[in-house]
Amino acid sequence: MVKICCLGAGYVGGPTMAVIALKCPDIQVVVVDITKSRIDAWNSDTLPIYEPGLDEVVKQCRGKNLFFSNDIEKHVSEADIIFVSVNTPTKTRGLGAGKAADLTYWESAARMIADVAKSDKIVVEKSTVPVKTAEAIEKILTHNSNGINFQILSNPEFLAEGTAIQDLFNPDRVLIGGRETPEGQKAVQTLKAVYAHWVPEDQILTTNLWSAELSKLAANAFLAQRISSVNAMSALCEATGANVSEVSYAVGKDSRIGPKFLNASVGFGGSCFQKDILNLVYICECNGLPEVANYWKQVIKINDYQKSRFVNRVVSSMFNTVANKKIAVLGFAFKKDTGDTRETPAIDVCKGLLGDKAKISIYDPQVTEDQIQRDPTTTKQVSVTWDAYEATKDAHGICIMTEWDEFKTLDYKKIYDSMQKPAFVFDGRNVVDSEKLREIGFIVYSIGKPLDGWLKDMPAVA
Ligand SMILES: NC(=O)C1=CN([C@@H]2O[C@H](COP(=O)(O)OP(=O)(O)OC[C@H]3O[C@@H](n4cnc5c(N)ncnc54)[C@H](O)[C@@H]3O)[C@@H](O)[C@H]2O)C=CC1
Ligand SMILES: O=C(O)[C@H]1O[C@H](OP(=O)(O)OP(=O)(O)OC[C@H]2O[C@@H](n3ccc(=O)[nH]c3=O)[C@H](O)[C@@H]2O)[C@H](O)[C@@H](O)[C@@H]1O
C-alpha cells in the first residue's frame, strides 16, 4: 500500500489529504502537525476549520485510510510520498522583511525529513513557495541524506477557501513539476497516478520544477490583479455615475476576458494574495526586474486604496466623524463560507474606524469572539455578538464586510427601526438591495454604484 504523509494540518493539508484519502482507498494518508491542538481537533467532532462538505469527507475516511497524528517522525519515516503543506508567511524581520517568503517552517521540515528518512522518498512542495525553492530543499535533503534518494516535486494547490472540497473534487487542473531526469520523471508519474484516481489525465499538467513553482505565484497574482482592476474601476464608477456591476458584466461578456472574479469589493483578503504578490515582487527585485516588480506592487496599492477609500466614505458620510458612534460590522471573515480571518479587509476597516474613535460591534456567523480579540488591533476595543440584530441595535451605521448569504435576507425594516437616525448602510460587498433599503429610509453606499443623493457632495478621497 502506498503511504502518504502530509506535514501541516491546515487549510490546505487537511482538506487536500482528506480528498486524496476519499478518492484513493488503496492509499494510506496520515496528516501530521507540530500543533497538538490542531491534530486533536481533526480527530474530534469539531474540525479545526469550517469548510462546506469537509465534515462528510473526513467522517467517511477517518480511521480507515485517513489519520491525523502528532507522531511526525514515525509517519515521515514510513511514507513513500511526503507532502509539505506548512505555512509560508511573509518575513517580518531581516533580509527581505515585509516581502520575501519566510521559509523557516519549510527548512525545518526538510531537515527533519532528512534526519528520519530510512528509505527513498518523494517530497512534494504543496505550500506556495518562491520559484527555485525546490533547489534549496534539494540541497538540504541531499547534503543530509545518508545515501537516501530524494525526488522533489512541485505540486502547488489552487483550492479557494469556502469551496475547497468542490475545487479538490473538480480541479481546473492539477500541476506537477519535476526534474527532467529519468528519476524525476518517474516521481512525476507516481504522483500523477495518485491524482489520476479521480482527475482526468488531460487536466494533470506536468512541467519543469520552476514553471510549476512560478505558475502558482502567477495565478494568484493574475486573480488579485483582476480584483484590483475592477476595484479601480469602481472608484471611477462612483465619480461618473456608471454602475460597476453593469461594467463588470459588459466587460466579462467578452469571452477573452470571462465573467469570473470581477466583483468589486472593499478589497481582497485572505492569507495568500498579498503574501504571494509581495513574494513575487521580491523575486522580481532580486532578479533585477524593478519595472516588473512595480507593476505587481500596484495590485496591492490599489487594494490598500480601496480599503481606505471605504473608511473615508463611512466617516465623511457621517458628518466627518464616527467618534463614539456605534458602527455594526456585519461579517469579519475574508469571504463567505469560511471562518478564516487572515488578512481580512474587515481588520483594516475596523482599524480605520477605531482610529476615528468609533465603537464597533461585530457579527459573523463563523468567527468567534476569541478569534477577533486575538488580533492586536481590535483587542478589547470592539464587542462581538452572535446575532446581526443585536450588533445593529442602536447603531448609527452598518458596514457589510463579508458577502454571507444571510445578510441578503435580514429584516432590514426591523434593523432600521432599532437604529439611530439617519441610519447608514455601507455595503462593502454589494450584497443588499440598495433601492429597497432606501425605501425603508436608509442612506446606502454600495461600492462602485451611483451615489445616494446624501453622499454626492461629500468628498471621500483616500
Ligand atoms: N489557505 C489556502 O486557501 C491556500 C494556501 N496555500 C498555501 O499552502 C500553505 C499552507 O497554507 P495553510 O494551510 O493555509 O496554512 P495553515 O497555517 O493553516 O497550516 C499550516 C500548518 O503547518 C503546521 N506546521 C508548521 N511547521 C510544521 C512542521 N515542521 N511539521 C509539521 N507541521 C508544521 C502548522 O502548525 C500549521 O498547522 C501556504 O504556503 C499557503 O500559501 C495554497 C493554496 C490555498
Ligand atoms: O493560494 C491561495 O491561497 C488561494 O487564493 C485564492 O483563494 P482564497 O483566497 O481562498 O479565496 P478567493 O475566492 O480567491 O478570494 C480572495 C479574496 O478576494 C475577494 N474577491 C474575490 C473575487 C472577486 O470577484 N472579488 C473579490 O473581492 C474575496 O472576497 C476574498 O477576500 C485563490 O482563488 C486560490 O486559487 C488559491 O489557491
The residue extents of the domains of the chain are 2-199, 302-457
Q: What is the 3-state secondary structure (H, E, C) of 189-232?
A: HHHHHHHCCCCCHHHEEEEEHHHHHHHHHHHHHHHHHHHHHHHH
Q: Is the CB of 340 under 6 A from ligand 2?
A: no
How far apart CA 410 and CA 387 sit, in angstroms, is 11
Task: Reduce the DSSP state of residue 118 to 3 states and report it.
Answer: coil
Fold category of 2-199 in CATH:
Rossmann fold (3.40.50)
8 sits in the region (left: phi over 0; alpha: psi -120 to 50; else beta) called left
Catalytic residue among 24, 272, 350, 399: 272
Q: Is the CB of 404 under 6 A from ligand 2?
A: no
CATH number of 302-457: 3.40.50.720
Question: Which atom of ligand 2 approaches the CA of 167 most closely?
Answer: 35
- The annotation status of 181 as a binding-site residue, yes or no, is no
Q: What is the pTM of this model?
A: 0.96
Q: Is the CB of 227 under 6 A from ligand 2?
A: yes
C-alpha cell at 141: 535533503
**pLDDT by residue, tens only, the chain of 462 residues:** 899 999 999 999 999 999 999 999 999 999 999 999 999 999 999 999 999 999 999 999 999 999 999 999 999 999 999 999 999 999 999 999 999 999 999 999 999 999 999 999 999 999 999 999 999 999 999 998 888 999 999 999 999 999 999 999 999 999 999 999 999 999 999 999 999 999 999 999 999 999 999 999 999 999 999 999 999 999 999 999 999 999 999 999 999 999 999 999 999 999 999 999 999 999 999 999 999 999 999 999 999 999 999 999 999 999 999 999 999 999 999 999 999 999 999 999 999 999 999 999 999 999 988 888 877 665 567 999 999 999 999 999 999 999 999 999 999 999 999 999 999 999 999 999 999 999 999 999 999 999 988 887 776 665
CA of 160 to the centre of ligand 2 (A): 6
Our CA angle for 220, 222, 224, nearest 5°, is 65
CB of 52 within 8 A of CB of 165?
Answer: yes
- Closest ligand to residue 156's CA: 1
Residues with CB under 6 A from ligand 1: 7-13, 32-35, 38, 72, 85-88, 105, 108-109, 127-128, 157, 159, 161, 271-272
How far apart CA 266 and CA 301 sit, in angstroms, is 13
Residue nearest to atom 2 of ligand 2 (CA): 272
Same fold, 2-199 and 302-457: yes
Omega before 422 within 30 of 0, i.e. cis = yes
61 is catalytic: no
Closest by alpha carbon to 42, among 22, 23, 62? 62
245 to each of 327, 347, 379, how far by Cα in Å? 26, 25, 36
Task: Reduce the DSSP state of residue 149 to 3 states and report it.
Answer: coil
Q: Is the CB of 158 under 6 A from ligand 2?
A: yes
CA of 335 to the centre of ligand 2 (A): 8
Residue nearest to atom 25 of ligand 2 (CA): 263
